């Protein structure tokens, strides 16, 4: 299951994480965001202990969304050691998301 982060918790939960974190920048009004949510929940379970998946509501947390120039949703950004290492924009099939995650984990 994915967890939620906010502007207030982003640094501790994402940037300071000892494992890579995929952040789903989403919004309530975004249809594709809702469509990929179950896929992200499945991937969170599949990669538990190796990668965390968290959600950040960009409308309710504009500071973080602005800091990372999030212009479209969903934007899936992987952070490792506090740095952006991978990013995809839009809803993609599970296979593409898995490939994004695998690439990050192989290069860790």
Catalytic positions, please? 30, 33
Measured CA to CA in angstroms, residue 74 lies from 6, 51, 66, 81, 88 at distances of 16, 19, 14, 22, 8
Q: How far apart are CA 58 and CA 15, in angstroms?
A: 17
From the list 40, 62, 64, the residue with the least C-alpha distance to 52 is 40
From the list 85, 96, 57, the residue with the least C-alpha distance to 73 is 57
> Largest Cα–Cα distance of the chain, in whole Å?
34
């Amino acid at each position: 299951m994915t967890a939620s982060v906010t502007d207030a918790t982003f640094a501790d939960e994402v940037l300071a994480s000892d494992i890579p974190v995929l952040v789903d920048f989403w919004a309530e009004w975004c249809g594709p965001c809702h469509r990929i949510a179950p896929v992200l929940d499945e991937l969170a379970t599949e990669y538990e202990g190796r990668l965390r998946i968290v959600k950040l509501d960009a409308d309710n947390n504009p500071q973080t969304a602005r800091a990372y120039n999030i212009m479209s949703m969903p934007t899936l950004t992987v952070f490792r050691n506090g740095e952006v290492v991978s990013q995809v924009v839009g809803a993609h099939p599970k296979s593409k998301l898995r490939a994004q995650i695998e690439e990050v984990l192989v290069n860790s």
